Copies of this chain bind each other. A is one copy, B any other.
Amino acid sequence: MKQITKYVIKNSLKRIFLYRSCLVRLKMMGVEKVFSYTLANETGVTPDQVRKDFSEFGIKGNKRGGYKINELLDIMENLFHRNKDHNIVLIGMGNLGLALSKYSKFVQRNMNIVATFDIDPFKQKIRSDITVYSMSRLKEIIDRFRVKVAILAVPEISAQEVADDLVRHGIKGIVNFAPVLLKVPPDVIINNVNLCDELESVIYYVHKQLKVEGLKNLEILYKDMKY
Q: Tell me, yes or no, whether A52 is within 8 Å of chain B by CB.
A: no
Within the oligomer, what is the number of copies of this chain? Answer: 2
- Report which of B5, B95, B179, B202 forms a contact with A149, defined as CB distance below 8 A: B202
Q: Tell me, yes or no, whether A172 is within 8 Å of chain B by CB.
A: yes
Q: Which B residues are in CB contact (< 8 Å) with A45? A: 6
Q: Tell me, yes or no, whether A17 is within 8 Å of chain B by CB.
A: yes
Q: Tell me, yes or no, whether A70 is within 8 Å of chain B by CB.
A: no
Q: Contact check, A193 vs B203: say whether CB atoms are below 8 A apart.
A: no
Q: Tell me, yes or no, whether A196 is within 8 Å of chain B by CB.
A: yes
What is the distance, in angstroms, from A171's C-beta to the closest C-beta of chain B?
A: 9
Q: Which B residues are in CB contact (< 8 Å) with A209? A: 172, 187, 189
- Report which of B96, B102, B149, B210 forms a contact with A206, defined as CB distance below 8 A: B149
- Report which of B109, B198, B202 forms a contact with A196, defined as CB distance below 8 A: B109
With contact pairs A206-B172, A206-B173 given, residues A111 and B225 touching in the complex (Cβ less than 8 Å): no
CB proximity to B under 8 Å, residues A64-83: 79-81
Q: Which A positions have Cβ atoms within 8 angstroms of B?
A: 3-11, 13-14, 17-18, 21-22, 42-45, 79-81, 86, 88, 95-96, 98-100, 102-103, 105-106, 109, 111, 148-149, 151, 172-175, 179-181, 187, 189, 191, 193-207, 209-210, 213, 224-227
